[in-house]
Amino acid sequence: MFPPILNELGRGEPVNLAAVGGGCIAQARIATFADGYRVFVKTAQGMTGMFACEAEGLAALAAADAIRIPEVLLVGEEGLVLEAIGTGSRPPDFFETFGRQFAQLHQNRGQSFGFSSDNFIGSTTQPNSPVGNGDDWPEFFLERRLRFQADLAETNGHGPELRQLLDEGEVRITGLLNESAEPPSLLHGDLWGGNYLVDEQGMPCLIDPAVYYGHREADLAMTLLFGGFDAAFYVAYGEAFPLAPGHEDRLPIYQLYHLLNHLNLFGSAYYAQCIRILQPYAAA
């Protein structure tokens, strides 16, 4: 049976539904109709609000007009229909272009750290309400990112040590993050090698965001977590929008958020790495 949300396109039943790999939360398929029209459709049950949040994030990224984002066609409680992006070959200057465009995205500024609503990082809730006046990035990252995940890890049976280490290291962590104060940037929020495409023209296209306004170093840290991108990406980014000195020192703290989330999503294989990152801050 084809996803009911496709009825809203008014094109009748698709003649083909082809599975698309890579997702671990929703079922992803390309639907082709009799006239050759194609759409990308994601479906999942029991994920209240997830697709509305994804659509909102995609709209925010598209409004920045910095990098290609698939058009949102339909959104429902159990499904999301997007423009189908054809894939092409990666040209030699792909990562240079990608780095420049990603820097352009980050030049879109917000009024406060956070977002207009909570959303999701994978299937985990991502709280986005501002802390205080919304202008304190270290406190936002500590409370809405690290502490939220550490508390969730304890709830999920991983014990209190992560929370305790975070409490002990709070002063040093917030002090470190304060060393690169800058206005809130629009972030993809979950950019790794599986969350971009090479489109028909050989240009980058972003998918599967966890959007909020934050410090751009946090976005770049995720790109480096699982192998990283080609060096040309980081060189081009740095030329277009240089980072503050000491960004390498802040990298593990920003990566910790995603490692904690992987701990909560996928289990204890990520526990020791989270502990290793936190211990030096707690011991100081």
d(CA 50, CA 169): 33
Positive or negative: CA dihedral 25, 104, 255, 228: positive
DSSP state of 246: T
Contacts within 8 Å (CB) and 24+ apart, 268-276:
268/158, 271/158, 271/162, 274/153, 274/162, 275/161, 275/162, 275/165
The active-site residue, picked from 65, 151, 190, 199, is 190
Q: Identity (one letter) of the amino acid at 35? A: D
3-state SS assignment for residue 179: helix
Q: By the 8 A CB rule, do 71 and 82 touch?
A: yes
* Residue that has been written with the tokens 């890890």 in this structure: 153
Q: How far is CA 194 from CA 22, 154, 227, in A?
A: 7, 28, 12
* Residue that has been written with the tokens 């994030």 in this structure: 57
DSSP state of 114: B
Q: Look up 190 and say whether it is catalytic.
A: yes
Nearest-5° Cα angle at 69, 63 to 72: 85
Residues labelled catalytic: 190
